[in-house]
């Protein structure tokens, strides 16, 4: 069962979850990839209203991605 949580960031609300991923080349590997989708509160371009952060092949854990989300903010003078 996928656990989905909402996380506050300096850019907008993020939806954080982990997807199961299987990659097969010469052999198969199963991974759990944390993913966060941030809905931008003030997008610069209305055609781009979200940002996706992904930890490919689970390079970082869900808790570590949550820590990254906590540091995200708009650049000073940028809107």
Tell me the Ramachandran region of residue 66: left when phi exceeds 0, alpha when psi lies from -120 to 50, beta otherwise.
alpha
Radius of gyration of the chain from Cα atoms? 15
Across 51-74, average pLDDT: 94
Task: Write the CB contacts of 50 (distance below 8 Å, at least 6 apart in sequence).
Answer: 37, 38, 39, 40
Residues 33-54: what's their mean pLDDT?
Answer: 95
Name the pLDDT band for 2 (thresholds 50, 70, 90). Answer: confident
pTM (2 d.p.)? 0.85
């Amino acid at each position: 069962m996928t656990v989905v949580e909402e996380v506050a960031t300096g850019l907008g609300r993020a939806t954080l979850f982990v997807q199961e991923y299987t990659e097969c080349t010469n052999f198969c590997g199963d991974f759990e990839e944390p993913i966060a989708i941030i809905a931008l509160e003030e997008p610069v371009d209305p055609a781009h209203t979200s940002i996706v952060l992904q930890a490919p092949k689970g390079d970082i854990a869900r808790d570590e991605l949550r820590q990254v989300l906590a540091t995200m903010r708009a650049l000073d003078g940028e809107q």
